[in-house]
Amino acid sequence: MLPDLLPALAMALVAAAAAWWAPTVIARLPEPEADPDPVPDMALADAHAEVLDSAEPAPQEPAVPDVKVPYTELASRPRLRPRLALASAIGAGSIGYVLGPDPSLPLWCFVSVLGVTLSYVDWTTRLLPYRLVAPSYPITMGLVLLAAVLSRDWDALLRAGVAWAVVYAAFTVMWLIYRRGIGYGDVRLCGILAMSLGWLGWSNVVIGMYAAFILGAVIGGVLVLVKLVDRRGYPFGPFLVVGTWLGVLFG
């Protein structure tokens, strides 16, 4: 019994230790110079156009400025370190339990910590910081390549690359068609998640991405109804991360 739990325990401990330092990384992120998401401006422009075109102007609620929380303040919130560590340990530990002694465990340990950190940042700021997502690409590629070298499974390596290309292209098309429904930060993040899921199999990719959209629609809709999130838009990154986790567990 204990040997079967060793991968899960090792993954949980390593992920918790790594996530403990995540607030330090968040605090060092540079603040965006300009809002990379044009959605709020477009929404306001459409709202003004509708008011001008209407015969009787409808009463409007006072505008609430959408001010981003500084990363330094975000990183200094009480009990943030143990919370991120616990969430990362649960995610990575459960993956380690399902996969067992798999050569991709270092990859999934990294993805678990990254996903929890980005989910926290995105949920609070509605931004997936480029300076955190972009450097994760070479790290993810290196860990996928390491898994291929250790297992000599070159088909899985090819599948990971194809999954990255296909999912990234699909998300890019969705972003071009309907930018209010998805941000480009989500497009960047999906490449890392699809590459990781692609190593495991196509069913993992399909379940992971499909679960992300289902969770985003259902849970997001519920959160809108109870007024916990803005009905005009809410972060999709956390749903991508949770969907990926489900893709590993049930793919």
27-66 pLDDT, tens per residue? 999 988 754 444 444 333 343 334 334 444 444 433 333 5
Please, what is the angle between helix 136-151 and helix 184-200, to 10°?
Answer: 10
φ, ψ of residue 153 in degrees (nearest 5):
-100, 85
User: How much is the pLDDT for 52?
Assistant: 35
Q: Is the pLDDT of residue 179 over 90?
A: no
Q: Say how many domains are in the chain.
A: 1
User: How much is the pLDDT for 68?
Assistant: 80
The domain of 78 spans 2-250
Mean of the per-residue pLDDT values of the chain: 85
As a whole number, mean pLDDT of residues 112-124 equals 96
pLDDT tens-place string over residues 201-246: 999 999 999 999 999 888 877 877 776 666 666 789 999 999 999 9
pLDDT tens-place string over residues 55-87: 444 444 333 335 688 999 999 999 999 999 999
Angle at alpha carbon of residue 235, lines to 94 and 88, rounded to 5°? 20
pTM (two decimals): 0.84
**Chain CA centroid to CA 94, Å:** 18
Place 182 in a pLDDT band, splitting at 50, 70 and 90: confident
User: How much is the pLDDT for 142?
Assistant: 97
Choose the weakest-confidence range: 43-47, 90-94, 107-111.
Answer: 43-47
